[in-house]
């Protein structure tokens, strides 16, 4: 029986669906997928069109509304919204260090997780659509970041289920390998570093001081993790959001305290770093991250820790070299490295599993370029200029390659524009769909 809850301005209904682990074997093992239906208070009985929301990630659960807030403020004017916890996340059958051991050893775990990519997520959504709307019902789709990648997969596999699609910061390169993605990413991350240091020049010395300290003495984090120089550099992930540079600065300005034996990294700083770096709440983000670029027709090899390999082509990110040369130490971005499975307690038990996924070479294609070129579903996409997470050039290539796409390129927002704009970004895309702009 579904649970109905009332929050300020909204009514929510819980849904749990049983779907095949492997959609090619519908009579085989089933897993659960959870979704939260949200409707504006007082409109529960209205015949509203549905809007399916696909969160970023991979491995990200849907947002938990506290009321009529954020982009829901705008969406609920027109839609009944379904917030999907993609398989393995949130209240769907979880895939974590605590649960995956039940699958067997690393090979069994890797084979299991290979079914958690966008193609499986889309097929889950199609079963849910037919259950809620009927065979002929169609819904609208909102894909944020990785949710936009899933939107392109949806348009490739089952466009007949969609009325329209909105994409925010998530037009993936259709024919771009993981190596190409990271070769484009490192220069963008370098630019974000330069902008941060121009905004907060005092942070150059602070970051260098922390890096030099950690090179001599890696720090223990409260959860048992280890803050190495490379782990510290991974805080650069913060630089891709609208307020991330400011948040990073505030974290850095409380880095040091005077201890009994002299200066040491403060508990405040270490706890803040852990909050940014730990994958305890979303391990699939790390385990499956590079697999979202795996397509055997694009690259017949495995992803093989692409971010780590490509990083060697950008020596400016070598912290030890920067310290020796008296240069600013550059922070990294949305990259997953194998050492993370040593320093993060939430990932350590999944180290061998992640290695097997990195070596995997049989990834099915996620996009159908011919079908996408002939697409008739209206697609309205926000492309953020110099987005740190998704390359703008790759996004615009895709906008040109997919039929019926209208792109809005903006530098007013960063990658998190949907979340932080109070509905402004979604409103713009919806007005584009209505022909108002």
Rounded to whole angstroms, how far apart are CA atoms 41 and 100?
39
Rounded to whole angstroms, how far apart are CA atoms 303 and 301?
7
92 exposure class (CB count in 10 Å sphere: 0-12, 13-18, 19+):
buried
267 catalytic? Reply is: no
**Cα–Cα nearest to 310, from 174, 192, 178:** 178
Choosing from 92, 120, 140, 145, the catalytic residue is 145
Residue position matching structure tokens 């990658």: 415
415 catalytic? Reply is: yes
362 catalytic? Reply is: yes
Choosing from 124, 391, 415, 416, the catalytic residue is 415
**Cα–Cα nearest to 176, from 314, 294, 306:** 294
Q: Which residues are catalytic?
A: 145, 362, 415
């Amino acid at each position: 029986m579904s649970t109905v809850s009332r929050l300020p301005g909204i009514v929510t209904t819980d849904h749990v669906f049983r779907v095949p682990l492997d959609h090619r074997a519908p009579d085989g093992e089933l897993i659960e997928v959870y979704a939260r239906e949200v409707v504006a208070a007082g409109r529960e009985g209205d015949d509203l069109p549905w809007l399916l929301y696909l969160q970023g990630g991979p491995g990200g659960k849907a947002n938990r509304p506290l009321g009529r807030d954020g982009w829901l403020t705008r969406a609920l004017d027109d839609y009944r919204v379904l917030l999907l916890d993609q398989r393995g996340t949130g209240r769907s059958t979880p895939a974590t260090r605590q649960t995956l051991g039940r699958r067997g050893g690393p090979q069994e775990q890797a084979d299991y997780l290979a079914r958690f990519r966008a193609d499986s997520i889309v097929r889950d959504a199609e079963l849910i659509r037919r259950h809620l709307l009927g065979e002929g019902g169609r819904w609208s789709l909102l894909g944020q970041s990785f949710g936009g990648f899933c939107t392109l997969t949806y348009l490739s596999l089952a466009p007949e289920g969609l009325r329209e699609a909105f994409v925010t910061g998530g037009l993936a390169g259709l024919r771009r390998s993981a190596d190409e993605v990271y070769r484009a990413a490192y220069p963008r991350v370098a630019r974000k570093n330069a902008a941060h240091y121009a905004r907060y020049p005092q942070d150059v010395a602070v970051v260098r001081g922390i890096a030099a300290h950690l090179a001599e003495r890696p720090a223990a984090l409260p959860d048992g993790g280890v803050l190495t120089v490379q782990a510290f550099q991974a805080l650069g992930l913060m630089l891709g959001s609208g307020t991330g540079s400011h948040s990073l600065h505030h974290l850095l300005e409380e880095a040091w305290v005077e201890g009994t034996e002299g200066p040491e990294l403060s508990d405040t700083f270490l706890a803040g770093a852990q909050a940014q770096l730990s994958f305890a709440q979303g391990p699939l983000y790390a385990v499956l991250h590079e697999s979202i670029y795996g397509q055997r027709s694009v690259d017949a090899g495995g992803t093989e820790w692409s971010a780590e390999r490509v990083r060697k082509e950008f020596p400016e990110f070598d912290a030890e070299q920067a310290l020796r040369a008296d240069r600013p130490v550059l922070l990294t971005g949305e990259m997953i490295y194998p050492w993370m499975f040593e320093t993060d307690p939430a990932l350590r038990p999944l180290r061998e599993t992640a290695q097997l996924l990195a070596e995997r070479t049989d990834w099915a294609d996620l996009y159908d370029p011919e079908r996408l070129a002939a697409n008739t579903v209206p697609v309205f996409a926000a492309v953020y200029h110099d987005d740190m997470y998704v390359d703008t050039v790759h996004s615009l290539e895709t906008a040109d390659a997919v039929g019926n796409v209208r792109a809005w390129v903006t530098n007013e927002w960063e990658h998190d524009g949907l979340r932080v704009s109070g509905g402004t970004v979604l409103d713009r895309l919806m007005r584009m769909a209505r022909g108002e702009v």
